Amino acid sequence: MKCENLEKIDLYFEKKLNDQERAFIAEHLETCDACHGYLNDLKHTDRVIGQLKSFNPELANPLAFRNEVLAKINPIQESVFQSTLDRIVEAIISILVKPATKYAFVAFAAIFFGLFVYQQSMIFQKMDDLEKRMESKAENVPTSRELSLETFFKRKEAKMIEEKHTDNLLNEHRYLQLKYTILLKVLKDRHPDTYREFIQKIEKETQLPTDKSNDYEDL
Amino acid sequence: MPIEIPYDLIQLVKAGDQQSFGKLIDKCSNYVYGIALKMLGDADDAHDAAQESFIKIWQKIHTYKSHFKFTTWLYKIVINTCLDRLRDRNRDNTIFQKVDDHTDLTTTTEPKMEFEEQEFIAYIRMISERLSPRQHSVFVLHDLEELGQEEIAKILNMSKGSVKSNLYHARKAIRKILISLDKAKTNAL
């Protein structure tokens, strides 16, 4: 049968009991074989551990040991670049392997991917808008022919003005004639319907009475 | 047995000075070998584990932070190297075969005042077989290396409570080993 004081033997052995308890256990040990045997086991264990502790193992040949280690680290030192790379990779892996950083990395990657997709969609949106704007603008943009006529007109006008100043009134008539010719040409190109109406109206208004000679003849 | 490593020497090793590393090996080789032997209970294995530990020290010295005690960092490397070997050994299941090669403790009488190496190895080997790697590490660090519970907790990455509990179970197991050894001796006589 297990003695109820057996648990106190550890404390007795470790000298953790007060004087009264200690005196009680000391007296108890004289009569209890189980506790006495247990105390002997504790002493024996402590003695063996003490002997293990006092033993200091030594290498047979420390110098050879040192040289062997140094010989093994030499090739490592030669590939410093490789070992540095390994260390970087190792550090990254060790960070990623930790649960907290792993989840943080996944969250960061998800946010980054989301932003990337959003940015791409915005670019496509902008490109669409630009295309639409260009299409709508193209309707009001002058054609290349119109542009060339305008340029032609401006150049001619500038030349005419210059000529007008030099030849003064002598050329005024020629200038006006040419200016109106160009204006008509521009009108014809840009607004053909208006041009046609305009020409018809002018022709109608400036038309001379027909068969006037006959009238005379009638006279 | 605590050792003192000069701060300047560690800084030189950190800077990659191989000659200083040689000096560091000279200062700590017996110390590291001693821990490895207490952990593994095999002279050849301890020799190899000590060399492996020094190679790790050289490779990882840049991770050592000066505000930590160098010996705590050193213990961590050596203990982890030995634990890896113990795990490999258990996996290979060659342990029982090897134990027979060592001194038969049942034929010895009461332990002498000083152990012979073979006797020491036989005891350690027997203890390491019966204890879990954690219990064995705590026992070696606390009872043989005389480190404090707080430092052991840092080395083994466990709480102080876990150190206490592992130590209690380790001592209990060792006591049982010694009792069974005594019984075997009595039967042998």
CB contact under 8 A, A55 and B115: yes
Q: Which of A45, A77, A87 sits opposite B171 (nearest CB)?
A: A45
Which residues in chain B are closer than 8 Å to A71, comparing Cβ atoms?
none
- With a cut of 70, say whether residue B78 has pLDDT above it: yes
Q: Which two tokens stand for residue A55?
A: 């033993």
Alpha-carbon gap, residue B144 to A48, rounded angstroms: 11
pLDDT at site A121: 82
Which residue has better confidence, A211 or B143?
A: B143
Rg for chain A, CA atoms, rounded: 57
Instruction: Identify the residue whose tokens are 């200062």.
Output: B27
Query: Of the candidates B112, B152, B76, which has an alpha carbon nearest to the alpha carbon of residue A51?
Result: B112
Q: What are the structural domain ranges in chain A?
A: 6-54, 59-95, 98-141, 144-206
Q: Which of A45, A57, A66 sits opposite B25 (nearest CB)?
A: A66
Which residues in chain B are closer than 8 Å to A83, comparing Cβ atoms?
59
CA closest to B41 among chain A residues: A57
pLDDT tier for residue A218 given thresholds of 50, 70 and 90: very low
User: What's the gap in Å between the CA of B92 and the closest CA on chain A?
Assistant: 26
Q: What is the mean pLDDT of chain B?
A: 84
Q: Is the dihedral of CA A137, A139, A144, A146 positive or negative?
A: negative
Residue of A48, A90, A95 to mutate when probing chain B, most B C-beta within 10 A: A48
Q: Which of B33, B111, B114 sits opposite A48 (nearest CB)?
A: B111
- Return the SS3 of A207: coil
pLDDT tier for residue B27 given thresholds of 50, 70 and 90: very high
Enclosing domain of residue B122: 7-188
Q: Which two tokens stand for residue A11?
A: 């404390």
Domain tally, chain B: 1
- How does pLDDT run across B56-74, given as a tens digit for each residue? 999 999 889 887 889 999 9
For residues A58-81, one letter each, b for 16 or more C-beta atoms within 10 angstroms of the residue's C-beta and e for the rest, the string is ebeeeeebbeebbeebeeeeeeee
Residue of A59, A63, A72 to mutate when probing chain B, most B C-beta within 10 A: A59
User: What's the gap in Å between the CA of A3 and the closest CA on chain B?
Assistant: 18
Q: What is the mean pLDDT of chain A?
A: 76
- Residue B20 counted as domain residue: yes
Alpha-carbon gap, residue B67 to A156, rounded angstroms: 89
Alpha-carbon gap, residue B39 to B34, rounded angstroms: 9
- With a cut of 60, say whether residue B97 has pLDDT above it: no
pLDDT tier for residue A139 given thresholds of 50, 70 and 90: low
Residues of B with CB under 8 A from a CB of A: 1, 16, 18, 21-22, 25-26, 29-30, 33-34, 37-38, 46-47, 50-51, 54-55, 58-59, 62, 111-115, 117, 120, 123-124, 143-144, 146, 171, 174-175, 178-179, 182
Query: Once rounded to an integer, what is the mean pLDDT over residues A192-200?
Result: 85
For residues A4-13, one letter each, b for 16 or more C-beta atoms within 10 angstroms of the residue's C-beta and e for the rest, the string is ebeebbbebb
- How does pLDDT run across A32-81, given as a tens digit for each residue? 988 998 898 888 888 888 888 888 888 989 999 999 999 988 765 555 55
CA closest to B25 among chain A residues: A66
CATH code of the domain in which B70 resides: 1.10.1740.10
- Which of A131-140, A146-155, B28-37 bottoms out in mean pLDDT, i.e. has the lowest? A131-140
Do B26 and B3 touch, CB atoms closer than 8 A?
A: no
- Residue B1 counted as domain residue: no
Q: Which two tokens stand for residue A105?
A: 């990395």
Q: Which of A52, A65, A87 sits opposite B144 (nearest CB)?
A: A52
Which residue has better confidence, B94 or A213?
A: B94
> How big is the A-B interface in CB pairs under 8 Å?
93
- With a cut of 90, say whether residue B125 has pLDDT above it: no
Highest mean pLDDT among A177-191, B63-77, B145-159: B145-159
CA closest to B125 among chain A residues: A52
User: What's the gap in Å between the CA of B81 and the closest CA on chain A?
Assistant: 15
